[in-house]
Structure 1
Amino acid sequence: MKVVNALMLVGISWLVLACQTADSEQSVVVDLPYYSTSDWMPVWIPEDSLETVNPHAIPPFAFLNQDGKEITDKDMKGKVYVANFFFSTCPGVCPKMTNNLHLVQDEFGTNSEVRILSHSVMPWVDSVAQLARYAERNAIQSETWDLVTGDKKEIYQLARESYFADEGFGKTLTTEEDFLHTEKLILIDQYSHIRGVYNGTLPLDTKRLIADIYQLIE
């Protein structure tokens, strides 16, 4: 009987140890990578090497939002933000992205450290007034979420060269005037570095984005 009890205690001890190990493994958080090239190759950079490595950063920009307010890169300094590209009359992909970005707005709506920045890829249609109507129809809160319009060339250049956002760029495009298309949601950290890319049409990917935002702000 004593031998049986001893074996039971050993078994229980191993079970507890296994559970603790599993919990420990589940609680491990891997640092988010940096993205500096259009092929979306992730690179992990130690914090003490950032100044030396100098990862890619989003350059200065200035656009008008749905309230007619100028939004610049300075408004995003020190904040984590999600960038994407859409147009207000898009019938398919854009509504899905907007619905999923609502998950981000709902999660961080009262947090001043987090913003959403949606760039129109049809700025000749999406005036400030048009974006204001779109924001009202979709319950978009300007305190958290900016829909921006501006010069087409500036938006397209920023999308392709800085956010690496266009799925077709470098593959099927014949000129720089070709229409910009992307389903990407792009996570930018407090220092203008790209830290994540997600499929904006998938709720599961958006939940992964939310988890990564928490990791950056915590």
Structure 2
Amino acid sequence: MSTKKTNYSYIGIALTLLVFGIIFIPRIVDRIKGEDISRTESRSEDVSKNADDYVSDLMFLEINGTPKKVPQFSFVNQDGKTITNKDYEGKVYVVEFFFTTCPTICPRMNRNLVQIQNTFSDFEDFGVASFTINPEYDTQEVLKTYAETYGITNPNWHLMTGDQEAIYALANVGFNIYAGENPEVDGGFEHSGNFALIDKNGFMRSRKDNFGNPKIFYKGIISEEEKVDDDGETEEISMLKQDIAKLLKEKYQ
């Protein structure tokens, strides 16, 4: 192709772009001003710089097509105060079920939660909900001592005790986190070592697994420092921290 012909080609392209700009750009601007263009037309997750519009990519846990919300609860915390689900409204929080005399996984879980607490110490809208599965022993006074021993300082971290039947229903049905008595295991109780993550509006949230489904829970036993346990399971505390940070950006509605 000759240089002259190439120059003509460039001139033609330039004229085309100029005509497009004159005809179509004002129309696009008008559509944006008239809010005819929805955010879904953009491939960017950062379409709006307004924090009120931010929605993270974390999934909702859905039951029969309906996002699962935290059920109502009411228990007494380590300070003797009655705490309900409404005390957590407007806050991102992590849920666990434990007991203070647990000789196995609970100390590991709560050391990991203290590390998470310290990571988000500057956020007034972050908290933790810890429910004892041995309320007969874990009185308010026992929970208070436990909190002091582990360095629990977040005012939104409530260690709660109350009616055992209600706590077990909350664990097994409300959060789908197993808890039960078992005299044959160390400590006399068994429970999941998983954490649930709740958003500011009370919905259970998590990231996707490799199949595009919600992970639902986060492994709470393995620390970030360990990375992998003896069974080859990978830690998820770092993942949980990342997802807490995402939910903290979302708006409370």
Partner of 1:5: none
What residue is the counterpart of 1:215 in the other structure? 246
- Within-5 A mapping of 1:118-197: 118-166=130-178, 179-196=189-206, 197=217
SS at match of 2:116: helix
Q: Is the 8 A contact 1:105 1:144 kept in 2?
A: no
What residue number does 1:202 align with? 222
TM-superposed CA distance for 1:62, in Å, is 0.6
Q: Which residue of 2 aligns with 1:50?
A: none
Which position in structure 2 is the counterpart of 1:12? none
In 2, distance between residues paired with 1:142 and 1:111? 10
Deviation of the 1:189 alpha carbon: 0.7
Partner of 1:78: 90
Is contact 1:103–1:206 with CA below 8 Å preserved after alignment?
A: no
Contact 1:80–1:115 (CA under 8 A) maintained in structure 2 = yes
CA shift in 2, pair 1:156/1:30, >3 Å: same
The 10-residue stretch of structure 1 (108-117 or 178-187) with the greater mean CA deviation from structure 2: 178-187
Letter in 2 for 1:182: S
CA distance in 2, matches of 1:144, 1:110: 12
Q: Give the secondary structure class of the aligned counterpart of 1:89.
A: coil
1:139-190 per-residue CA deviation (whole Å, 9 max, x = no partner) reads 111513111101001110011111010178xxx9xxxxx9551101100111
Match of residue 90 from structure 1? 102
- 2:56·2:246 contact (CA, 8 Å) conserved in 1? no
Q: Distance in 1 between matches of 2:179 and 2:144?
A: 28
Which of 36, 57, 76 is the aligned partner of 1:31?
57
Alpha-carbon separation, structure 2, partners of 1:30 and 1:143:
26
Q: What is the DSSP-based 3-state SS (H/G/I as helix, E as strand, rest coil) of the residue aligned with 2:145? A: helix
- Count of equivalent residues: 170
Contact 2:71 2:85 in 1 (8 A): yes
Q: Does the CA contact (< 8 Å) of 1:63 and 1:72 recur in 2? A: yes
Report the Cα offset of residue 92 of structure 1.
1.1
CA contact (8 A) 2:117 2:154 kept: no
Q: Kindly state the Cα deviation for residue 201 of structure 1 after the two structures are TM-superposed.
A: 0.5
Cα shift at 1:103: 1.5
Instruction: Show structure 1 runs of 5+ residues with no match.
Output: 1-26, 38-42, 44-52, 173-177
Structure with the higher fraction of residues in helix conformation? 1
Q: CA deviation at 1:193?
A: 1.0
Deviations 1:28-79 (A, max 9, x none): x971111135xxxxx9xxxxxxxxx541111111111111111111101111
Is the 1:121–1:156 Cα contact (8 Å) retained in structure 2? yes
**In structure 2, what is the Cα distance between the partners aligned to 1:149 and 1:142?**
18
What is the alpha-carbon distance in structure 2 between the residues aligned to residue 63 and residue 76 of structure 1? 13
State the alpha-carbon separation in 2 of the partners of residues 98 and 90 from structure 1: 11
Larger radius of gyration: 2
Instruction: Give, in whole Å, the separation in 2 of the partners of 1:193 and 1:111.
Output: 19
Identity among equivalent pairs (%): 38
**SS of the residue 1:165 aligns to:** coil
